Amino acid sequence: HGSLVQNFQKIRRKVGRKLPPPKNTTDTEIKSKAIVLPEQSLAAEKAGLAVNKKGLTLKELLQQTSHHNPKVHRDALIGIKDLFTRYPAEQKLQKYAAVEKLRERIGDDDKVVRKSLYDLFKVVILPCCKEDNQELIVSLLMPYIFNAMTHLVVDVRMMAFDFLDLILEFYPPSFSPSYAEKIFQNYEDILVRNQYYL
């Protein structure tokens, strides 16, 4: 009985004194310090880079052409046209990268996007590339034009021939005869399947 009293002895506290924390408490105090990053504003990052009137770089605009929203595609194409018109040197420098990314929109489901892309190629991009490696430009574009020629939507197929027309208009010498057979097959397919009388 004496040992029981020893084990469970009540500690007498004086009134008004703050209780010490129990021995098994966890310290939950969080200490934090602010991280100061020098010069990390978007404006500072873009200093010296070519931007369109909305302040977007070519890289940002090209990324927007892959967006799921057609309106973003349209705005991006208008932005690229604006940027290339403002900075012809940037266009000369980035034309192949731009063509490589933009060609993905040749078979776009949105009619306005395809039309904007067509205008961008006709007015800005293809005239700029005339003195350059035309075979490269044609080889970058033709697989996507062929792909659009077999699209399920007839409008996309028809527009593919407009893009083909641009290639023939700007780069007739670099147009390979090997393309001709494929073009006629696709053209015949449109006529047969849709009974178009062109």
What would the pLDDT profile of 112-156 be if each residue is shown by its tens digit? Answer: 999 999 999 999 999 987 777 888 888 999 999 999 998 989 899
Q: In this predicted model, what pLDDT tens digit does every residue of 12-50 receive, in sequence order? A: 777 877 777 777 877 777 777 766 555 444 444 466 788
Among 40-49, 64-73, 127-136, 160-169, the range scoring the smallest mean pLDDT is 40-49
**So what's the pLDDT on residue 184?**
72
**So what's the pLDDT on residue 49?**
85
**So what's the pLDDT on residue 41?**
44
Query: pTM score, two decimals?
Result: 0.69
CA-CA distance, 56 to 43, in Å (whole number)? 10
**So what's the pLDDT on residue 5?**
55
**So what's the pLDDT on residue 42?**
47
Tell me the average pLDDT across 50-71. 92
Q: Which of 148, 185, 190 minimizes the C-alpha distance to 167?
A: 148
Average pLDDT, the chain: 82
Confidence of residue 159 (pLDDT cuts 50, 70, 90): very high
